[in-house]
């Protein structure tokens, strides 16, 4: 009798447990708990507005949503006006889910953030150009005069210098000075060990020598544009060739070479970008560094072009004004 009661008790207990389990599975609360998901959303930078399935949640990152349904959801974050919106389609599993957004800057804001570094590079570009053209005027004046005086040795040396510099690319000249000079200096002064040269020194030397050759041709053309009668008149007054050149010819030639010198400055301002290949931190090199970090070349190089344009336009206007003034003076 006891055994039959025990078996019946177990059967009834099993039926009760089965009924309870079936009721629990059909209960909405139980089913919802099993099919609910949570989602943690973060962004860089933080503080972006979160949109879930196209609706504004009025929450900002970082934020965790609870009680979401399992399955596909469209998630987007937005932080105007400085950052672009980002969106993704995400499948949520039951339990915890995590997603992260990296918001890129808008083009104008990115260019604004890049501007300080680029302006520092622009200042270095201007400095290199000013020093190089100043040195070039000194070198070119002596070389230009040497090309027209009655001295065959001076004519030949000045001609070789001008022809070599004007006949070879500036980039090659930069490489020759920065990479080719250290072994030669080492053989002369350091027991055969190469003497490294600072990129700043290499850049200044290369740009100055290059500018000097072009200024030499400008000076030569300016001197030869003066009528020969000026020299003959000066010599007939008892002046020596040197005195006539110094007091009569060069002052008149200087007036005629000023506009071409302005054009040489503008050309050197643009050509100075080539020194970026030896690591000189001017405008173009600054832009290269920024691009390698941001992977946004379009906005960066557009901004560099605008900066070069802003730097060259004033000098172009100045040169045009000088040409008009000097032409009126004639």
What is the DSSP annotation of 6-70?
HHHHHHHHHHHHHHHHHHHHHSHHHHHHHTEEEEEEEEESS-PEEEETTEEEEEESSEEEEEEES
Local confidence pLDDT in tens for the 330 residues of the chain: 445 445 565 566 666 666 655 544 444 444 445 578 899 999 999 999 999 998 999 999 999 999 889 989 999 999 999 999 999 999 999 989 999 999 999 999 999 999 999 999 999 999 999 999 999 999 999 999 899 888 899 999 999 999 999 999 999 999 999 999 999 998 988 888 889 999 999 999 999 999 999 999 999 998 888 888 888 888 888 888 888 888 888 888 888 888 888 889 999 999 999 999 999 999 999 999 999 999 999 999 999 999 999 999 998 888 888 778 776 655
Q: Find tokens 């090659």 and name the residue.
A: 172
Domain boundary among the residues 104, 131, 150 is at 104
Residues 122, 83 share a domain: no
Residues 98, 117 share a domain: no
Cβ atoms 166, 144 nearer than 8 A: no
Cβ atoms 282, 130 nearer than 8 A: no
Report the SS3 class of residue 238.
coil
Residues 257, 121 share a domain: yes
Cβ atoms 83, 104 nearer than 8 A: yes
DSSP state of 295: -
What's the CA gap between 268 and 283, in Å, rounded? 14
Domain boundary among the residues 104, 136, 151 is at 104
In a domain, 291, yes or no: yes
Tally of residues, the chain: 330
Residues 147, 210 share a domain: yes
Residues 279, 229 share a domain: yes
Residue 156: CATH number of its domain: 1.10.3720.10
The domain of 121 spans 107-329
Residues 116, 94 share a domain: no
In a domain, 8, yes or no: no
Residues 210, 97 share a domain: no
What's the CA gap between 91 and 89, in Å, rounded? 7
By the 10 Å C-beta count (0-12 exposed, 13-18 middle, 19+ buried), 99 is classed as middle
Residues 115, 100 share a domain: no
Domain boundary among the residues 83, 104, 125 is at 104
pTM, full prediction = 0.79
DSSP state of 247: I
């Amino acid at each position: 009798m006891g055994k039959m009661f025990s078996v019946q008790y177990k059967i009834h207990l099993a039926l009760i447990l089965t009924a309870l389990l079936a009721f629990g599975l059909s209960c909405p609360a139980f089913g919802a708990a099993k099919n609910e998901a949570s989602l943690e959303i973060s962004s860089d930078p933080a503080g972006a507005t979160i949109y879930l399935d196209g609706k504004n949640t009025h929450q900002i990152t970082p934020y965790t949503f609870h009680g979401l349904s399992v399955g596909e959801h469209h998630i987007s974050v937005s932080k105007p006006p400085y950052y672009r919106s980002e969106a993704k389609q995400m499948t949520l599993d039951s339990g915890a889910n995590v997603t992260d957004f990296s918001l890129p800057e808008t083009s104008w804001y990115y260019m604004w953030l890049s501007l300080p570094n680029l302006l520092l590079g622009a200042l270095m570009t201007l400095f290199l150009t000013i020093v190089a053209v100043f040195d070039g005027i000194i070198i070119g004046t002596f070389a230009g005069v040497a090309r027209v005086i009655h001295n065959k040795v001076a004519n030949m040396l000045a001609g070789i210098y001008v022809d070599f510099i004007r006949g070879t690319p500036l980039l090659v000249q930069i490489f020759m000075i920065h990479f080719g000079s250290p072994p030669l200096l080492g053989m002369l002064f350091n027991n055969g060990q190469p003497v490294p040269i600072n990129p700043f020194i290499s850049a200044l030397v290369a740009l100055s020598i290059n500018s000097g050759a072009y200024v030499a041709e400008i000076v030569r053309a300016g001197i030869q544009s003066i009528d020969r009668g000026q020299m003959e008149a000066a010599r007939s007054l008892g002046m020596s060739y040197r005195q006539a050149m110094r007091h009569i010819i060069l002052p008149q030639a200087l007036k005629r070479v000023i506009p071409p010198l302005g054009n040489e400055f503008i050309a050197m301002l643009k050509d100075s970008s080539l020194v970026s290949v030896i690591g000189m931190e001017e405008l173009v090199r600054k832009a290269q560094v920024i691009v390698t970090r941001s992977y946004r070349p379009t906005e960066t190089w557009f901004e560099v072009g605008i900066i070069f344009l802003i730097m060259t336009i004033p000098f172009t206007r100045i040169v045009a004004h000088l040409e008009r003034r000097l032409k009126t003076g004639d």
